[in-house]
Amino acid sequence: MQDLDAVAVPRVPRQARIELACLLRGDMVGISLDHHVIRPRVAGSVRVDEQTMRYGRCGRPVATGERRDDDAAGPGRPR
């Protein structure tokens, strides 16, 4: 009899990626990872002023867009 723990594949925690875009221009400015980490598309494209994310180019607020889960692609599928 095999021990199930010995053959189990370790699970990697899912990471939610949410695209961030400028409300006025519609430009993609970065990605939010699990609502904790902001990765700007280019340096200075996202800034935080008094709890509001703003586009570095025009100063307008940033809106959240499409949400993607890393786990949703599954093994062997393109991400």
Please indicate, yes or no, if residue 64 is contained in any of the structural domains. yes
Q: Three-class SS string for the chain?
A: CCCHHHHCCCCCCCCEEEEEEECCCCCEEEEEECCCEEEECCCCCEEEECCEEEECCCCCEEEEEEEEEHHHHCCCCCC
Does any domain span residue 74? no
Determine the pLDDT at residue 79: 47
Number of domains in the chain: 1
Lowest mean pLDDT across 4-8, 12-16, 72-76 = 72-76
**CB of 55 within 8 A of CB of 25?**
yes
Q: Which amino acid is at 34?
A: D
Q: Examine residue 78 and state whether it is found in any structural domain, yes or no.
A: no
Query: Does residue 69 contact residue 12 with C-beta atoms inside 8 Å?
Result: no
Residue 51: its pLDDT value, please?
85
Query: pLDDT tens digit string along 19-59?
Result: 999 988 888 999 988 878 889 999 989 888 888 889 988 88
Question: What is the domain extent for residue 21?
Answer: 13-69
Does residue 8 belong to any structural domain of this protein? no
Q: Is 41 inside any structural domain?
A: yes
